[in-house]
Amino acid sequence: MAYCFVKTNQKHKFGALYKTNQNMSILVNKDSKIIVQGFTGGEGTFHAGQMIDYGTNVVGGVTPGKGGTEHLGKPVFNTVEEAVKATGADVSILFVPPAFAADAIMEAANAGIGVIIAITEGIPVSDMVKAKDYIKQFDCRLVGPNCPGVITADEAKVGIMPGFVFKKGKVGVVSKSGTLTYEAADQIVKAGLGITTAIGIGGDPIIGTTTKEAVELLMNDPETEGIVMIGEIGGNLEAKAARWVKEHGTKPVVGFIAGETAPKGRTMGHAGAIVGGHEDTAEAKKAIMRECGIHVVDSPADIGSKMAEALGVTA
């Protein structure tokens, strides 16, 4: 599963390019052909515009019933299938309202999209359980939902992050949170390191790409020299990633877990951010991460400087 995107690349997507360019970024890059689901809505319009301004290769969008029209200078299609046929799209980003978002994820997978990035917040959990199960039969990777998306610096911004923060460099970021990702990226850039790819995996209980899978992608990316892993209370994704790093890690990993001060039993904004048992706490997660050799910071203000230290760079 973790290699599925790379596999997809080799098979159909970037074919010759992949072979000639070994320094390929992960998930999205300048050659990605991106469509926007929920293209003509308010959020879709605003963020697709921002993505295009960043230089992202947006090839069109999907809004059922508006096929055949044009929006932001790009063609609009009724279905993802039509969009893929007409444009060769391999990446999709979703700004579809929560009630229809799981359906849109399944449509993208069914149409052969390789990387599906779901921004939508508030999708019913039962819908996501079904959608995640459904897309397993396709050769695709889901990122999110309830996430800020993915950005490969200077190449493609497929998300809602402020692009100017993510200056090109050598550190990959994996995070459950949106704004905390921007914070970390800003610090990393100011420490003189810069970003390769930042992946917002999302804060919902059911998400497509796990912390471990995202860390693994970055670990295998030749351009990435260090990895920042940002988690929060609830679930065991960070612990699983930490154990994987202990076994397979070849690059320094800096970690932060938000929610040290969160009370037990309360949902802190993200649907998945809730302390149930002992292992859900920030303290427990950080302990496991430390045991696994991850450079854990207690203060979110120290992420950039810790990464510089771990890479032996003086800021």
Partner 1 sequence: MNLHEYQGKSILESYGVAIQRGVVVDNIEDAVAKAKELNSETGTEWFVVKAQIHAGGRGKGIVTETGSNGVVLAKGLDKVEDTVKGILGGHLVTAQTNDKGKMVNKVLLAEDVYYPGESEPSEFYMSVLLDREKECNVIMYSTEGGMDIETVAEETPHLIHKEEVDPRLGLQGFQMRRIAFNLGLSGQAFKQMTKFVNALYNAYVGCDASMFEINPVLKTSDNKIIAVDSKVTLDGNSLFRHKDYAEMRDKTEEDPIEVEAGEAGLNYVNLDGNVGCMVNGAGLAMATMDIIKLSGGNPANFLDVGGTADAERVEKAFNMILRDPNVKAILVNIFGGIVRCDRVAQGIVDAYKNMGNIPVPIIVRLQGTNAEEAKKLIDESGLDVYSAVQLQEAADLVKKLIN
Closest Cα to residue 58, out of 87, 86, 79, 80?
87
Cβ proximity to partner 1, 24 vs 117, nearer residue:
117
Tell whether residue 209 is a contact of partner 1 (CB under 8 A): no
Backbone angles phi, psi at 247, to 5 degrees: -75, -45
From 17, 86, 129, 315, residue interacting with partner 1 (rule: CB under 8 A): 129
| Shortest spacing between CB 258 and partner 1, in angstroms | 4
Question: Cα dist. 297→67, 225, 282 in Å?
Answer: 49, 19, 11
Q: Which of these is catalytic: 47, 71, 270, 295? A: 270
State the distance between the two ends of the chain, measured CA to CA, in whole angstroms: 37
253-312: contacts with partner 1 (CB under 8 A): 256, 258-263, 266, 268-273, 282, 298-301
Choose one: 9-17, 24-32, 202-210, 246-254; the region binding partner 1 (CB under 8 A): 202-210
CB 210 within 8 A of CB 244: no
Cβ proximity to partner 1, 215 vs 275, nearer residue:
275
- Binding flags for partner 1, 45-64, as an x/- string (CB under 8 A): --x-----------------
| Shortest spacing between CB 86 and partner 1, in angstroms | 29
From the number of C-beta atoms within 10 Å of its C-beta (0-12, 13-18, 19+), residue 130 rates as: middle
Cβ proximity to partner 1, 73 vs 263, nearer residue:
263
For residue 223 the two structure tokens come to: 């351009």
For residue 314 the two structure tokens come to: 């003086």
Residue 295 a catalytic site member: no
Question: Cα dist. 200→60, 89, 93, 112, 180 in Å?
Answer: 23, 21, 13, 22, 10
From 183, 221, 223, 225, residue interacting with partner 1 (rule: CB under 8 A): 183
Closest Cα to residue 204, out of 290, 101, 111, 273?
273
From 79, 112, 134, 279, residue interacting with partner 1 (rule: CB under 8 A): 134
Chain position carrying tokens 């995070």: 175
163-182: contacts with partner 1 (CB under 8 A): 165, 175-182
How far from chain centre, in Å, is Cα 2? 13
Kindly give the pairing relationship between strand 226-232 and strand 168-175. Answer: parallel
Q: Which residues bind partner 1 (CB under 8 A)?
A: 43, 47, 98-99, 121-126, 129-130, 132-134, 148, 160-162, 165, 175-183, 186-187, 203, 205-206, 230, 232-233, 235-236, 256, 258-263, 266, 268-273, 282, 298-301
Provide the annotated active-site residues.
270
